[in-house]
Amino acid sequence: MKLPRLQLYTKILIGLLLGAVLGILANRWGFSDFVLTYIRPVGSAFIRLISMVVVPLVFASLLVGTASLSDIRKLGRIGVKTLAYYLCTTTIAISIGLLLANTLRPGTGLSQDVRTRLTKSGTQDADARIEAARKKPTVTDVLLNIIPTNPVKAFVEAKMLQIIFFALLTGICLTLIPTKRSEPVINFFEGVNGVMIQMVHIIMKIAPYGVFALVSAVVADFGLEILFLLLKYSIVVIAGLVLHVVIVYSLAIKLFSRQKIKTFFRGIRPAQLIAFSTGSSSATLPVTMECTERDLGVPREICSFALPLGATVNMDGTALYQGVSAVFIAQVFGMGLTVAQQLTIVLTATLASIGTAGTPGAGVITLAIVLKSIGVPLEGIAIILGVERILDMCRSVVNVTGDASCAVVVAATEGELKSR
Ligand code: ASP
């Protein structure tokens, strides 16, 4: 079953715009509660539906993809390329963020009075998030945690890295046992994979309504009262994100593949819109996989490896956001940052973005790691929470686009990108 691509895109876009209009009206005329009570659940249902598919889809498609790679060395090559791409683009993203925040200085120019009030305005929400960040495990814990002690528990808790690890091992082992035994298993999971893809097709039919509900709720709740300071900060983050997408991904596609940049951005649009409205690259994963395979011509075995991994560890948008935020908060507190501190930001924001889950608002929790490493008070997080949701939506778009661009680049360098 083929989805009419443009038509779906247009419908989602209309949903988004109508949602924004309703949100503004609700906020202005005081019926936000109505929107939050009666319309938001439609959006929540959409997110739940799409999240429902993530675990079985990732497991089945990764297992089938790996098992179909007759040459295991190829998997190693794809793995190295994918990780190298993710690491490079993340570092570039943070550098763009730092460059912009240092030149445009969004956190400066505050009067002493405003600064004192702002830095004191710790909310409960901020306290909870700061507390969560303080409990962050060490690097060794994070690495050890990739190995599930009980795969069933990993499925139940949707631990993506553990599921990826288990699926990869299972797929590899399937290639090592006699075909007579492996075939029924592979056939079964091919069936599961097909069913999940079909489910995504169906869920996407209600995407325009889901997007409408989600956007109207955010705008109604959030309101249009943005402090000038936060506006400046948001503009710097968004400008950085746009620059990263336009320059880095376009360049990567142009340099490493023969795909037209227009084809790439048109193909990935539905996933971008879903990422924008859900604020979650994990929840968007089924759509990203669908777009990347069908519209960008990346073979399944590469999609099913690069994309689930990317949705878990590759967060260029989040890394850029953390870079800008760290400098911004330091500026608000009147602290100058040395070159060494800025380099520390590059390092810690790379690690923090890898550790960020692809769920809404996860990046602001791991931002605490970055702030702590350069001695900026964690309370600064309270200042940016007001615009967190909208920036989360924007950076999720970049996170998802980065994953898809990686899949295209890896497929092209393997000589396996189908022309579209
Ligand atoms: N919401 C982002 C994502 O899912 C992660 C973040 O909070 O930065 O991609």
Q: Is residue 376 part of a domain?
A: yes
* 8 A C-beta contact, residue 396 and residue 281: yes
Q: Is residue 419 part of a domain?
A: no
Report the number of distinct structural domains present in the chain: 1
CA distance 75 to 410: 11
Residue 254 confidence (pLDDT) above 70: yes
Q: Is residue 400 part of a domain?
A: yes
Give pLDDT tens digits for 67-92: 876 666 777 888 899 999 999 999 99
- Mutate which of 309, 314, 315 for ligand 1? The one with the most ligand atoms within 8 Å of its CB, which is 315
Q: Which atom of ligand 1 is nearest to the CA of 279?
A: 1
Nearest to 387 by CA among 210, 212, 236, 214: 236
* 8 A C-beta contact, residue 299 and residue 209: no
Q: What is the mean pLDDT of the chain?
A: 84
Cα-to-centroid distance, 280 and ligand 1 (Å): 5
- Mutate which of 272, 359, 365 for ligand 1? The one with the most ligand atoms within 8 Å of its CB, which is 359
280 in ligand 1 pocket by Cβ < 6 Å? Answer: yes
- Mutate which of 244, 318, 320, 401 for ligand 1? The one with the most ligand atoms within 8 Å of its CB, which is 318
Q: Is residue 28 part of a domain?
A: yes
278 in ligand 1 pocket by Cβ < 6 Å? Answer: no
277 in ligand 1 pocket by Cβ < 6 Å? Answer: no
**Residue-number span of the structural domain to which 196 is assigned:** 2-413
Cα-to-centroid distance, 285 and ligand 1 (Å): 12
Task: Find all residues with CB under 8 Å of 36, minimum gap 6, and list them.
Answer: 217, 220, 221
Longest Cα–Cα distance of the chain, Å, equals 75
Cα-to-centroid distance, 389 and ligand 1 (Å): 10
361 in ligand 1 pocket by Cβ < 6 Å? Answer: yes
Q: C-alpha distances in angstroms, 41 versus 44, 153, 199, 359?
A: 5, 28, 20, 18
Cα-to-centroid distance, 400 and ligand 1 (Å): 9
pLDDT at 319: 97
Q: Band of the pLDDT at 206, cuts 50, 70, 90? A: confident
pLDDT at 240: 97
Cα-to-centroid distance, 399 and ligand 1 (Å): 7
Q: Is residue 420 part of a domain?
A: no
The distance from CA 290 to its chain's CA centroid, rounded to whole angstroms, is: 16
Burial of 145 (0-12, 13-18, 19+ CB in 10 A): middle
Reported pTM: 0.73
pLDDT, mean of residues 208-214: 87
pLDDT, mean of residues 331-353: 87
Give pLDDT tens digits for 119-170: 554 444 555 555 555 555 566 776 788 899 999 999 998 777 788 789 889 9
Which CATH number characterizes residue 283's domain?
Answer: 1.10.3860
pLDDT at 133: 57
* 8 A C-beta contact, residue 296 and residue 302: no
359 in ligand 1 pocket by Cβ < 6 Å? Answer: yes
* 8 A C-beta contact, residue 252 and residue 117: no
> Hey, which of 14-28, 147-161, 222-236, 288-302 has the most confident mean pLDDT?
288-302
360 in ligand 1 pocket by Cβ < 6 Å? Answer: yes
CA distance 231 to 237: 10
Cα-to-centroid distance, 153 and ligand 1 (Å): 23
Residues making up the chain, counted from first to last? 420
363 in ligand 1 pocket by Cβ < 6 Å? Answer: yes
pLDDT at 332: 85
Q: Give the residue, by CA position, lying nearest to ligand 1 atom 8.
A: 363
pLDDT at 157: 86
* 8 A C-beta contact, residue 305 and residue 285: no
Q: Where are the beta strands (DSSP E) in 211-320?
A: none
pLDDT at 309: 87
Nearest to 17 by CA among 204, 205, 206, 216: 216
* 8 A C-beta contact, residue 122 and residue 382: yes
Q: Is residue 418 part of a domain?
A: no
CA distance 293 to 289: 6
Indicate the Cα dihedral angle 246, 247, 253, 259, nearest 10°: 50
Q: Is residue 203 part of a domain?
A: yes
pLDDT at 347: 87
CA distance 358 to 396: 8
* 8 A C-beta contact, residue 417 and residue 373: no
How many CA atoms does the CB half-sphere of 273 hold within 13 Å? Answer: 26
> Hey, which of 30-34, 106-110, 163-167, 217-221 has the most confident mean pLDDT?
30-34
pLDDT, mean of residues 335-340: 87
Q: Is residue 398 part of a domain?
A: yes
- Beta-carbon neighbour count of residue 14 at 10 Å? 13
Q: Which atom of ligand 1 is nearest to the CA of 360?
A: 1
